[in-house]
Amino acid sequence: MAENVAVNGSRRLTPQEIADRLRERIRAGELRPGDRLPTQAELAEEFGVERGTVRQAVRALQEDGLLANVSKGSPPRIAAPAPARGEPQPTMVGLAPRLTEAFSARRVRVDVVCHTAETLMVAIGEPLRLIHEGRLHPESIDVRILVPSRDIELAFPVAVEAHGDDNPVHQRWLAMRNAQGQVLRHNLLALRSTHGIDVRVTFRALPFTPPMKLYVLNGEETLFGYYMLTRRAEEWGSQTLDMYDALGSQSLLFSFVKRAGHRDAAFVEESQKWFDALWETITTDLTLS
């Protein structure tokens, strides 16, 4: 078989060689998470090859999980590093890079089931920082969050010993739920005036205590983790509250990614359907008060 030779007589690079060179730039930090990959035309000119060769190289990077926002009408972005398969990460560690990748899409949708918005409020700071730096450019952001209603008797947190009609453990949880949700909503809605992004943030109240936290990102990835209960004491006003509670930031998150033919695809699709159905059963938006 004749060797692939350019017009000037030099050997043309293969798709694998181009992919390897781009991987090296990613490893060296020349291309960082959130950065746009050069266009196919730019890469074809740089490497002196046809666009078809570049497309094959880009496809190889995509299959390695190194690219995000592929086939959305603009050059793909460098994906945030994903946790290794079979190695779930604590929520506070694993959520931020997955959100960063999700926010590289033109239209961002984040659906959440949680006990409070604390972990999401902290983790979303990274994609917001990249937006303010001009490295991420979503056109719209739609965040829907399901949290427990203030009117139910929570499964957790609960006091180790009953306090009669007075329930400072519930009061503490409610104050945290509202304050964290308000901060999250404010930080996201601020993108309307600062960057002209169409942003919606909606809370609705669950009639039960969710035993797990769930994040569905752009309908393409599901992050799932069970709350692990522990006994702990917390200061609240002038009291020390002895309670059974969950440390959500330490819950292990398992990632399920929707890929054609992959066994995780069905789980992601069913997670989205389950969330949508649950969302539609609760018709009133929550005011966080």
pLDDT value at residue 26: 87
Q: Decide: 283 and 268 in contact? Cβ < 8 Å.
A: no
Please classify residue 102 by burial: count the beta carbons closer than 10 Å to its beta carbon, then call 0-12 exposed, 13-18 middle and 19+ buried. Answer: buried
pTM for the full model?
0.71
Mean pLDDT, consecutive 10-residue segments, the chain of 289 residues? 47 87 87 88 92 88 76 74 59 82 95 94 92 93 97 94 81 94 96 97 97 95 91 89 86 83 84 97 91
Report pLDDT digits (tens) over 236-285. 888 899 999 988 777 888 888 887 666 788 899 999 999 999 999 998 99
List the structure tokens of 57.
């190289």
pLDDT value at residue 164: 65
CATH classification number, 15-78, choose in 3.90.660.10, 3.90.700.10, 3.40.47.10, 1.10.10.10: 1.10.10.10
Report pLDDT digits (tens) over 86-102. 566 766 568 888 999 99
Determine the Cα–Cα distance for residues 57 and 282; give it in Å rounded to an integer.
46
Domain range list for the chain: 15-78, 89-285
pLDDT value at residue 262: 67
